[in-house]
Amino acid sequence: MVAKLIRRRVALFALIGMSAADICSAQSGARTTPDTLEIWYKPNVPLGTGRGIHPGRVAWGYDPGIAAWDGTTGFWWDDRFNSQAEADSLLKQTLCGLTGAQKESDSWDALFRFHNKTTRGSDIGYRSGEKVTVKINQNNTSSHESNNEINANPQLIRSLLRSLVHEAGVPQEDITVTDPSRFITDNIYVKCHSAYPNVHYVDHAGGGGRERATFVENAIPYSVDNGKVATGLAACVVDADYIINMAIMKGHVTQGVSLCAKNYFGCTSIEADWHKNAHSAGFSQNRDGLHTYSVYPDYLGHRHLGKKTILFLIDGIYSNKFVNGTPASRWRLPPFNNRWPCSLFASQDGVAIDAVVLDFALAEWPDAPDMKYSDYSLNESALADNPPSGTVYDPDRSGTRLTSLGVSEHWNNPVDKRYSRNIDRSAKGIELIYSLIGSK
């Protein structure tokens, strides 16, 4: 039974959010709520069952020297402002923090073996010929032309490709980088294709070296009648043996944040023009605090999406309070101290990683839109076998109800950032592993 949520006021945080009854009337969330916060949850009350080699572990790598954009000159993603070497190091050390391995190659072997053992019953690593698809977030694109909005980080994508090819041993031709619903812009394609020309780059339109996404109809019927919400899935996702979900740390109108669970929406057969895409109430929490159906357990529990995902990543090198716009959020929270967050988060638990980054967002963006009850979808996923809403989650319509998809929890406070397994190693909850990388 879910613990009763207790309201209490806390001066350190603040948020009065509005969840979404009217969904996506506008793409931009560039409005704010009052800078006061009404907390609706209790800290350190884990829900669900942690996943991973170290159940519920989220690795947080912080490298203050990785991002040097001044906020006005050129593009935030320019190489002159972003160190490729630091990006490589950030990914490597965050992966090692997640798995506990000393070597990057051993981390990948551990990730593949754990996934294969738990999903296929075989203690085997990656085998040549198996396909790995990396889902990036290019939500704020309308063509292949580069822009200055918050989108996927070119340096980090190249670091991931380097790591997959040279450390995990995945042949280039077996890797796909994709956002099937948007465009892989030139800043990403040129940087990555120049080093890894045999990787497949798949986007909504194709052309200019990219491949055009195709879709498998009715591949995700959802657990409930979702109206006109797209039910096709990209073939490069359906055909993949493994998925890597690379989301961005940013806010989102009607949902509070847009992280790993929401990133799967871009795998569906939606239009590149967001105005044409249907949404249901399941994309947003109820503004009155009622527990209702959420689409996100359907994504995390789907056989071609969450169930294939071996690694969840959230790029927090830059960030933004809103879903679109130029990165503009230098962080006040320690250890950032009015600098870019310069962070990368990694987990095998798609619920836990979103829960951790949501805590950062709640602390740093108290006036962001629609934050209140923004953890309700996480709780639905954590308790997918017996969710607060009473929904029977079965996204494949297979007749088999989902089990817990991970663990949801709020930290003790935004200074210590301690979860249950940080406080007591024998506890069942989230564990946040912090690594300081570099010296600047």
Q: Over the stretch 71-126, which tens digit does the pLDDT of each residue have?
A: 999 999 999 999 999 999 999 999 999 999 999 999 999 999 999 999 999 999 99
| Token pair in block for residue 171 | 């042949």
Q: What is the pLDDT of residue 35?
A: 56
437 vs 97, 157, 337, 434, CA distance in Å?
11, 19, 16, 10
Q: Write the pLDDT tens digit of every residue in 174-212.
A: 999 999 999 999 999 999 999 999 999 999 999 999 999
**Residues 145-152, mean pLDDT to the nearest whole number:** 98
pLDDT tier, 13 (very low <50, low <70, confident <90, very high otherwise): very low
Q: Select from 262, 431, 250, 264 the least CA-distant residue to 358.
A: 250
pLDDT tier, 366 (very low <50, low <70, confident <90, very high otherwise): confident
Q: Select from 379, 358, 419 the least CA-distant residue to 17.
A: 358
Q: What is the pLDDT of residue 177?
A: 99
Is 18's pLDDT higher than 60? no
Q: Select from 214, 176, 204 the least CA-distant residue to 308.
A: 176
Q: What is the pLDDT of residue 37?
A: 57
Tally of CB atoms within 10 A around 2: 13
| Token pair in block for residue 113 | 């073996």
Q: Select from 367, 222, 213, 258 the least CA-distant residue to 24.
A: 258
Distance CA 318, CA 324 (A): 13
Calculate what percentage of the chain has a pLDDT beyond 70: 91
12 vs 36, 37, 46, 368, CA distance in Å?
9, 8, 22, 15
Q: Kindly write down the DSSP assignment for every residue of 56-74, as one continuous string.
A: TEEEEEE-TTSB---SSSS
Q: Select from 236, 238, 232 the least CA-distant residue to 184.
A: 236
Distance CA 332, CA 338 (A): 5
Q: Select from 268, 195, 236, 223 the least CA-distant residue to 398.
A: 223
CA atoms within 13 A on the CB side of 413: 6
**Residues 351-369, mean pLDDT to the nearest whole number:** 95
Calculate what percentage of the chain has a pLDDT beyond 90: 83
Distance CA 171, CA 161 (A): 10
Beta bridge partners of 216: 233
Contact of 250 with 258, CB cutoff 8 Å: yes
| Token pair in block for residue 396 | 């494949």
Is 36's pLDDT higher than 70? no
pLDDT tier, 20 (very low <50, low <70, confident <90, very high otherwise): very low
3 vs 46, 141, 358, CA distance in Å?
10, 41, 20
